Amino acid sequence: MTIAPRVPRAWFRGVRAERVLEHVDLREQPDALSGGGWWVVVAEFDGPWHAWRFAEVRATDEVTRGPERWHGPPRDAWRTSLSRQQYVAAVQRVRADIAEGEVYQANICRVLAAPVPVRPDPVGLAVRLATGNPAPYAALIDIPAGGVAGPGSWVVSASPELSLEVADGIVSSGPIKGTAATPSGLLPKDRAENVMITDLVRNDLQRVCVPGTVEVTDLLAVEEHPGLVHLVSRVRGRLLDGGPTGWAPLLAAAHPPGSVSGAPKSSALRIIDELETAPRGPYCGQIGWIDADRGRARLAVGIRTFWWADGELRFGTGAGITWGSDPDQEWAETELKAARLVSLASQA
């Protein structure tokens, strides 16, 4: 039986795109978006900043035109890049670095992976997540590799977190720090964690905004999502020259996102590189779209995100570590963030 090649497609809440025209790495070609076009972006946490220009774009909230089934890996097939013992040791190491004044906060993550040898159709998973775990920045990116599509991409995300939104010359961000099963479970440590990262995001945006226009419009708001709650803050500012003078500098200012790296960001990234044993890929990167013709964009932080690569379905989960962190509680937070979504992605 001959299987017809899949047509490259992407879906985000409110918009669907088909037919790729070209692929670029924005790190190597930072001016590629200056000629306009509608682009899908997957800026990996520790890798390329992929961007694909699409030919056909239309408004819709539908993930797919027809029903799709998902056949996930067995629930017991998932393995973690850091065991509980290793993760607890990593938390203790970060606390020691905080005591030495090396860092204030670092986000330590682990990658769950299950064997899926044949490239699966991601639409079924996207539909399952949209039903079982609806998210404001849900995304599906299904771009087979080859030709103008370059390396391609396979990503299904249920992200609740806004990295960057651009409209009318204003850039906004919505950092999340602080997670619990219920509002009563949020601790003073969670609030301190959020305030530190909100200040970091404010500083990041000041690099690309008119001086004096960056402001925190909401601090420590409690948002409820399926199975858990988050503390969310909002930061906004007016972009220099009334809009992006170059999309790559704007991406760079917020990359990697502060909520999934730490503060100071440079020290946190060094510690992450020393402690984590698996690359994050699109997890904790930036995932979304840029309309370079209209000066608009919406990019999510790539959390609650699945990606398929090298015969494996992968999912990342992590927690922000501060001096007030309890190692066992931080491990439990990574379990809480993963449980619902990994269950949805596994065989029924």
CATH number for 76: 3.60.120.10
Give me the residue label for tokens 């219920």.
182
Please give the pLDDT value at position 4: 41
Q: What is the pTM of this model?
A: 0.95
Q: Is residue 149 part of a domain?
A: yes
Compute CA distances 348 → 75, 120, 343, whole Å.
Answer: 9, 16, 8
Contact 15, 289 (CB under 8 A): yes
Q: Is residue 314 part of a domain?
A: yes
129-134 contacts: CB < 8 A, separation 24 or more?
Answer: 129/156, 129/158, 129/341, 129/344, 129/345, 130/63, 130/158, 132/226, 132/340, 132/344, 133/158, 133/225, 133/226, 133/227, 133/304, 133/340, 133/341, 133/344, 134/158, 134/226
Q: Which amino acid is at 212?
A: G
Q: Is residue 1 part of a domain?
A: no
Q: Is residue 215 part of a domain?
A: yes
Q: What would the two tokens of residue 82 be?
A: 């850091």
Q: Is residue 144 part of a domain?
A: yes
Question: What is the rounded CA–CA span in Å between residue 105 and residue 110?
Answer: 17
Q: Is residue 125 part of a domain?
A: yes
Q: Show the DSSP H helices in the chain as ranges.
A: 84-99, 122-132, 188-206, 247-253, 265-275, 327-345
The structural domain count of the chain equals 1
Please give the pLDDT value at position 62: 79
Contact 108, 276 (CB under 8 A): yes
Q: Which amino acid is at 298?
A: R
Q: What would the two tokens of residue 42 be?
A: 């997957």
Nearest to 265 by CA among 255, 274, 275: 255
Q: Which domain range does residue 231 map to?
A: 9-345
Please give the pLDDT value at position 1: 30
Q: Is residue 3 part of a domain?
A: no
Nearest to 175 by CA among 239, 260, 249: 260
Please give the pLDDT value at position 246: 78
For the chain, what is the largest distance between any 2 Cα atoms, rounded to a whole number of angstroms?
63
The per-residue pLDDT string of the chain (348 residues; one tens digit each, 9 = 90 and over) reads: 333 456 789 999 999 999 999 999 999 999 999 999 999 999 999 999 999 999 999 998 877 655 568 999 999 999 999 999 999 999 999 999 999 999 999 999 999 999 999 999 999 999 999 999 999 999 999 999 999 999 999 999 999 999 999 999 999 999 999 999 999 999 999 999 999 999 999 999 999 999 999 999 999 999 999 999 999 999 999 999 876 767 999 999 999 999 999 999 999 999 999 999 999 999 999 999 999 999 999 999 999 999 999 999 999 999 999 999 999 999 999 999 999 999 999 986
Question: What is the rounded CA–CA span in Å between residue 138 and residue 129?
Answer: 9
Compute CA distances 237 → 208, 234, 277, whole Å.
Answer: 9, 11, 36
Give the N- to C-terminal CA distance of the chain in Å, as an integer.
28
Compute CA distances 53 → 1, 45, 172, 291, whole Å.
Answer: 32, 21, 23, 10
Question: What is the rounded CA–CA span in Å between residue 87 and residue 108?
Answer: 8
Q: Is residue 142 part of a domain?
A: yes
Please give the pLDDT value at position 67: 53
